[in-house]
Amino acid sequence: MLIRRDDSLLLLVDLQEKLAPAIFEGERVIANSIRLLEGARQLGVPAFVSEQYVRGLGPSVAEIRSAATDAHFFEKTHFSCAAEPGVIDMLRAARRPQVILTGTETHVCVLQTAFGLLGAGFEVFLVADAASSRTPENRSAAIERMRAAGIQIVTSEMVLFEWLHAAGTDEFRRLLPLIK
């Protein structure tokens, strides 16, 4: 199934100051999440950003906070965003059945969020080049497990091109710098 711009929302999970430096390929995860935030902003796709226990892990990294000007931020203490009271209702209020998921750590908060969203009836797309863990082994195991459960594994470019749907448009020309 393809990602449809009018049916999707973007959810960034726990890209936070104290955790980010320990993440395998963390700079790439942050850069690709920022690309998606910018694409979502330009194309009118709602974006949400979770922050796990801010007092302990700090807020989202500065680059994410700067890029997420239109995003809705929320704090959580559950590993799964879906288990946090009110979050499923907040996402359902966007009236978009597809969730584009990025963040850290892939084998903990991202995985548990993906399964919770799947269980709540959402179509879940994990952006593999915008999700990671402290070790590549944990990241790989989580992606395998999500794929086996029916979660779609995509890349940030796949998301952007599927949101755009066609070349030769003003939207395509505006988003081209994010793709090049």
109 is annotated as an active-site residue: yes
Query: How far is Cα 80 from Cα 87, in angstroms, rounded to an integer?
Result: 10
Q: Which of 6, 70, 109, 129 is catalytic?
A: 109
Among 18, 70, 76, 81, the one annotated catalytic? 76
Strand partners, 127: 154
Tell me the backbone φ, ψ of residue 79, rounded to 5 degrees: -65, -45
- To the query of whether residue 76 is one of the catalytic residues in this protein, the response is yes
Q: How many CB atoms lie within 10 A of CB 9?
A: 20
Q: Which candidate in 6, 7, 14, 81 is catalytic?
A: 14
Q: Left, alpha or beta for 165 (phi > 0: left; psi -120 to 50: alpha)?
A: left
The pair phi, psi for residue 158, each rounded to 5°, is: -60, -45
- Residues with active-site annotation: 14, 76, 109
